[in-house]
């Protein structure tokens, strides 16, 4: 029981009145862009130069929204008497964003850093078929992918840098 | 000829006020409620802060099909919105907004009786709608309306009677002429009882059991669409205007103000009505709906004893002064 009868009622009135004097939280979206965190999951971008058609992303995708077509090409021997090599060439890479549930597993499993999150989100369409983004459109999204976050000051240096430094040291020692 | 012109002019003004003020209250409710909940409310219709939202709503309502259920009592069903709305228009005619005869639509000697009687008719609209819809939810809503009307008309009447006793007249301009500033603390309990009972009669939250949408869909208005539904909504907002205006006239001194009562009396009236209308919206935003039994208990065990006590107080002070 409250000490004064009706004090709870007054408190309720005070809460609504106080809220009215404060700035409202509504975001005027089409007029004002939202301030999203840089790592927002907006759309998936494809860096197709890195793609080796390993198919891991397509196989891991929980709702099968990634379509990949490819063919094999034979690369002639690099040196005389060498062996011919074959390599995969990407013909089609498409993500159906009408099916995608933005779990990000494809980006996690890609071993060659070919898939990235981009914070762009304004790609609604009036025709559901247009939500299937083909290779060139996915490549365009790459320009909106933010730079990777800076390493923590106390973190280990990246493996690539370590490897490069060791090679350089070896060469120096050899000379 | 001059008299006819005079009457016509007064009626046109009253009608214009009747059409404009409820919309203003409605738009204020949109905005005040939104900001009390941390939102912005309508922002697009009309360009500037959604000022034309209710006009847009009206256009939408007009375009909708007017459906009458197959089993409904057709005539009554179609008549109900008018019965709900028109009494408020009639009440507005007799409410004085300023001093003198020029500021009243029509002076009625038995003003309080006329006002309270005609306001009671407005609730009949909900009853007719509830009974004629041939829908169990509508019927429940209509019966709840009836119960609420029975419970709250009495304290409202008693509170108004207290003012009539104090002024020694039942004419609304007469009450205002007799008004003194110290009536305010003297009649404050009656004012609260009148206002709360009026809210309940309008079925405004927290007294909206008859239209409790989570229980009985929309009570008596469940089967209504389009323009007829809009008329019920308009009746609710017209009711707010009337209730606030009546509370102003009976308890807050109407056109009396600290200064400038002669030329600017109507400004004081409008200002007081606006403040009360804000309070109506404020109460709606702040409080949850009362349960049906709590609603009845509040009326019979709190409001009626308070109103009777106010009448006793009024009588004692009146005798003491004389």
CA distance B241 to chain A (A): 21
pLDDT tens digit sequence for B197-210: 888 888 888 888 88
Closest residue by Cα to residue A52 from A11, A87, A1? A87
What is the spatial distance between Cα B227 and Cα B242, in angstroms, rounded to a whole number? 22
Backbone angles phi, psi at B20, to 5 degrees: -85, -50
Chain A hits for B285, Cβ within 8 Å: 16
Determine phi and psi for B303, rounding to 5 degrees: -70, -45
pLDDT > 80? residue B107: no
Closest residue in B to A16 (Cα) is B36
The C-alpha atoms of residue B303 and residue B165 are separated, in whole angstroms, by 19
Cβ within 8 Å of A, B 254-283: 282-283
Residue B240 main-chain phi, psi, to 5 deg? -60, -45
User: Cβ A20–B36 below 8 Å, yes or no?
Assistant: yes
Lowest mean pLDDT among B23-27, B106-110, B298-302: B106-110
Average pLDDT of chain B, as a whole number: 85
Whether the per-residue pLDDT at B70 is higher than 90: the answer is no
Q: Using the predicted structure, report yes or no on whether residue B102 has a pLDDT greater than 70.
A: no
Q: What is the CATH number of domain A32-149?
A: 3.30.70.3270
Question: What is the number of other CB atoms lying within 10 angstroms of the CB of residue B43?
Answer: 18
For residue A19, give the nearest of B37, B283, B287 by CB distance. B37
Mean pLDDT, range B262-276, rounded to an integer: 82
- Residue in B85, B65, B71 with CA at minimum distance from that of residue B133: B71
d(CA B42, CA B23): 14
Q: How far apart are the first and last CA of chain B?
A: 46
Ramachandran area for residue A53 (φ above 0: left; ψ -120 to 50: alpha; else beta): left
Q: What are the residue boundaries of the structural domains of chain A, listed by start?
A: 32-149
Asked whether the beta carbons of B264 and B208 are under 8 A apart, the reply is no
Angstrom distance (rounded) from CA B289 to CA B301: 18
d(CA A57, CA A108): 9
- B32 has a chain A CB within 8 A of its CB: yes
Distance of CA B58 to the CA centre of its chain: 21
Is A25 within 8 Å of B38 when comparing Cβ atoms? yes
Pick the most confident of A60-64, B46-50, B100-104, B231-235. A60-64
Q: Please report the pLDDT score of residue B320 as a whole number.
A: 83
Which whole number is the average pLDDT over B47-74? 86
What residues of chain A lie within 8 A of the CB of B35, using their CB? 19-20, 24
pLDDT-based confidence at residue A99 (cuts at 50, 70, 90): very high
Angle at B129 between CA B16 and CA B289, to 5 degrees: 85
Distance, in Å, from the CA atom of A19 to the CA atom of A11, rounded to the nearest integer, reads: 12
Q: What is the mean pLDDT of chain A?
A: 88
The residues facing A70 across adjacent strands are A90
- In this prediction, residue A101 carries a pLDDT of 92
Q: Check residue A46 and report its DSSP letter.
A: E
Give the per-residue pLDDT at B15.
85
ipTM score of complex:
0.71
B38 touches chain A (CB under 8 A): yes
How far off is chain B from A4, nearest CA to CA, in Å? 17
- pLDDT over 80 (residue B262): no
pLDDT tens across A15-68, in order?
888 888 888 888 888 888 888 887 888 999 999 888 989 999 999 999 999 999
Q: In this predicted model, what pLDDT tens digit does every residue of B77-98 receive, in sequence order?
A: 888 888 888 888 888 888 887 7
Residue B188: what pLDDT?
A: 86
Cα dihedral B104, B106, B108, B112 sign = negative
A-chain CB neighbours of B34 within 8 Å are 24
Confidence class for position B103, pLDDT limits 50, 70, 90: low
Model pTM score: 0.77
Please give the pLDDT value at position B261. 58
3-class DSSP assignment, residue A170 = helix
pLDDT of residue A2: 59
Helix axes B188-202, B304-321, angle to 10 degrees: 150
Task: Decide which of A131 and B104 is more confident.
Answer: A131
pLDDT band at B176 (very low <50, low <70, confident <90, very high): confident
The three-class DSSP label of residue A90 is strand
Residue A106's pLDDT is what?
92
Ranges A91-105, B197-211, B242-256, B282-296, most confident: A91-105
* Residue ranges of domains in chain B: 2-321
Helix (H) or strand (E) holding A70: strand A66-75
How many residues does this entry show for chain B?
322
Q: What is the pLDDT of residue B294?
A: 86
- pLDDT for B61 beyond 60: yes
Q: Before A60, cis peptide (omega within 30)?
A: no
Q: How many CA atoms lie within 13 A of B3 on its CB side?
A: 1
Give the span between the Cα atoms of B168 and B77, in whole angstroms.
42
Q: Indicate the residue of B40, B43, B285 with minimum beta-carbon distance to A16.
A: B285
Q: State whether residue B36 sits within 8 Å of chain A by CB.
A: yes
CA nearest to B24, candidates B234, B249, B228: B234
- pLDDT of B170 reads 82
- Among B131, B149, B124, B119, residue whose Cα is nearest residue B77: B131
Instruction: Answer for the pair B80, B140: CB distance below 8 angstroms, yes or no.
Output: no
Residues of A with CB under 8 A from a CB of B: 9, 12-13, 15-17, 19-20, 22, 24-26, 28
Q: Is B301 at the interface with chain A, CB within 8 A?
A: no
Contact A92, A29 (CB under 8 A): no
Mutation pick from A13, A16, A17 vs chain B, by most beta carbons of B within 10 Å, is: A16
Closest Cβ opposite residue B40 in set A9, A13, A26: A26
């Amino acid at each position: 029981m409250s000490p004064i009868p009706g004090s709870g009622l007054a408190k309720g009135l005070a809460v609504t009145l106080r809220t009215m004097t404060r700035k409202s939280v509504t975001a005027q979206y089409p007029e004002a862009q939202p301030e999203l965190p840089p790592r927002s999951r907006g759309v998936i971008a494809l860096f197709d130069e890195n793609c080796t058609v390993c198919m891991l992303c397509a196989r891991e995708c929980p709702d099968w929204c990634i379509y990949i077509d490819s063919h094999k090409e034979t690369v002639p021997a690099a040196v005389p008497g060498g062996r011919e090599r074959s390599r995969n060439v990407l013909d089609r890479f498409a993500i159906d964003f009408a099916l995608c549930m933005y779990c990000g597993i494809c980006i996690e499993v890609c071993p060659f850093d070919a898939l990235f999150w981009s914070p762009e989100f304004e790609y609604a369409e009036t025709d559901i078929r247009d939500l299937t983004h083909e290779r060139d459109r996915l490549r365009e999204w790459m320009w909106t992918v933010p730079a990777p976050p800076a390493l923590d000051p106390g973190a280990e240096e990246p493996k690539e840098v370590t490897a490069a430094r060791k090679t350089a040291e070896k060469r120096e020692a050899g000379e | 000829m001059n008299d006819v012109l005079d009457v016509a002019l007064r009626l046109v003004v009253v009608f214009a006020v009747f059409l404009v003020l409820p919309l203003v209250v409605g738009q204020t409710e949109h905005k005040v409620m939104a900001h009390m909940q941390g939102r912005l409310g309508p922002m697009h219709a009309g360009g500037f802060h959604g000022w034309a939202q209710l006009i847009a709503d009206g256009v939408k309502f007009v375009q909708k099909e007017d459906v009458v259920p197959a089993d409904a009592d057709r005539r009554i069903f179609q008549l109900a919105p008018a019965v709900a709305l028109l009494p408020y228009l009639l009440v507005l005619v007799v409410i004085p907004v300023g001093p003198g005869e020029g500021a009243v639509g029509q002076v009625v000697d038995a003003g309080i009786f006329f006002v309270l009687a005609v306001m009671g008719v407005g609730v009949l609209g909900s009853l007719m709608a509830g009974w004629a819809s041939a829908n169990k939810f509508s019927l429940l809503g209509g019966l709840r309306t009836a119960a609420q009307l029975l419970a709250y008309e009495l304290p409202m009447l008693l509170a108004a009677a207290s003012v009539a006793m104090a002024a020694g007249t039942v004419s609304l301009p007469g009450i205002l002429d007799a008004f003194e500033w110290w009536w305010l603390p003297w009649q404050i309990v009656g004012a609260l009882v009148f206002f709360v009972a009026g809210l309940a009669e309008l079925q405004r939250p927290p007294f909206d059991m008859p239209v409790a949408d989570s229980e009985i869909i929309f009570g008596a208005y469940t089967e209504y669409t389009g323009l007829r539904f809009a008329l019920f909504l308009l009746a609710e907002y017209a009711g707010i205007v009337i209730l606030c205006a009546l509370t102003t006239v009976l308890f807050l001194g109407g056109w009396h103000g600290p200064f400038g009562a002669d030329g600017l009396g109507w400004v004081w009236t409008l200002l007081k009505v606006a403040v009360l209308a804000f309070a109506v919206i404020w109460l709606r935003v702040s409080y949850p709906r009362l349960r049906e039994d709590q609603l009845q208990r509040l009326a019979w065990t709190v409001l009626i004893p308070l109103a009777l006590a106010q009448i006793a107080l009024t009588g004692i002070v009146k005798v003491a002064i004389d």
